Amino acid sequence: MLHSVALGDTTPAETAPATPTPSASAATDAAGAAALQPALSAEHAAVYGYGVVGARLPEDQRADARSAYAAHEARRDAWQRLIAGLGGTPSAASAGYQLPFAVTDAASATRLAAHLETRLTTVYADLVAAVPAAHRATAAEALRECALRARRWGAEVPALPGIPDAPSTAAPTATATATPTG
């Protein structure tokens, strides 16, 4: 559900900031719609990918795939509504998507699910940084949900999902080991 709530607004009416001009508001809306398009495209791909995942999982694992599929459909639909509400035209799904590797069995299907979710964490980390403040919490929630699903599918999830680890430039240090004294 997308909504915003102003909490604790105690600014007196006479000192409240001026309402943005229609052109400034339109520019903000256009920027927001443009920032959301990559997330929408990634959700289209995830919905497609989960169709492949579900087809290769045994029945006892399909409930997780169905749940993730439904979550991505809902997120996709929410982004479409938000983009349209901001005056943009939501991008359409492609007829098909190139999978990153062959999915032939349950193990590769599980790997694809982890890959889809991990890829989405990157998209959502970028979205959190790019989207107007009014939609940042929703983008952060999408990032959190994808990180949790990635972990459930067995992906290694870093402390800051979606943000690549910085290469280590420090030399390795030796660690002392304590020996018990008797």
Look at residue 178 and tell me if it is in a domain: no
Residue 146 domain-assigned? yes
Position 168 in a domain: no
Average pLDDT in the 13-20 region?
A: 41
Summarised one tens digit per residue, pLDDT across range 80-122 is 999 999 999 999 999 999 999 999 999 999 999 999 999 999 9
Q: Nearest 5 degrees, angle CA 105-CA 64-CA 165?
A: 80
**Rounded distance, CA 133 to CA 135, Å?**
5
Q: Does the pLDDT at position 159 exceed 70?
A: yes
pLDDT of residue 31: 85
Can you tell me the mean pLDDT for 162-179? 54
> Residue 81's domain spans which residues?
30-93+100-152
Q: What is the CATH number of the domain that holds 47?
A: 1.20.1260.10
Indicate if the pLDDT at residue 130 is higher than 70: yes
For the record, the structure tokens of 160 come out as 């800051």
How far is residue 67's CA from residue 63's CA, in Å, rounded to a whole number? 6
Which pLDDT tens digit goes with each residue over 23-53? 557 777 888 899 999 999 999 999 999 999 9
d(CA 117, CA 67): 13
* Spatial distance between the Cα atoms of 80 and 88, rounded to a whole number of angstroms: 9
Instruction: Report pTM.
Output: 0.75
The dihedrals phi and psi of 139, each to the nearest 5 degrees, come to -65, -40
Task: Measure the CA–CA gap between 27 and 21, rounded to whole angstroms.
Answer: 10
Structural domain count of the chain: 1
Q: Of 121 and 1, which is predicted with more confidence?
A: 121
The pLDDT of 4-9, averaged and rounded, is 28
Could you tell me if residue 115 is inside a domain?
yes
Domain assignment present for 131? yes
With cut-offs at 50, 70 and 90, classify the pLDDT of residue 8: very low
Q: Which one has a higher pLDDT value, 174 or 145? A: 145
Q: Write down the pLDDT at residue 168.
A: 57
Whether 65 is covered by a domain: the verdict is yes
Query: Is residue 19 assigned to a domain?
Result: no
- Could you give phi then psi for residue 161, rounded to 5 degrees? -60, 140
9 found inside a domain:
no
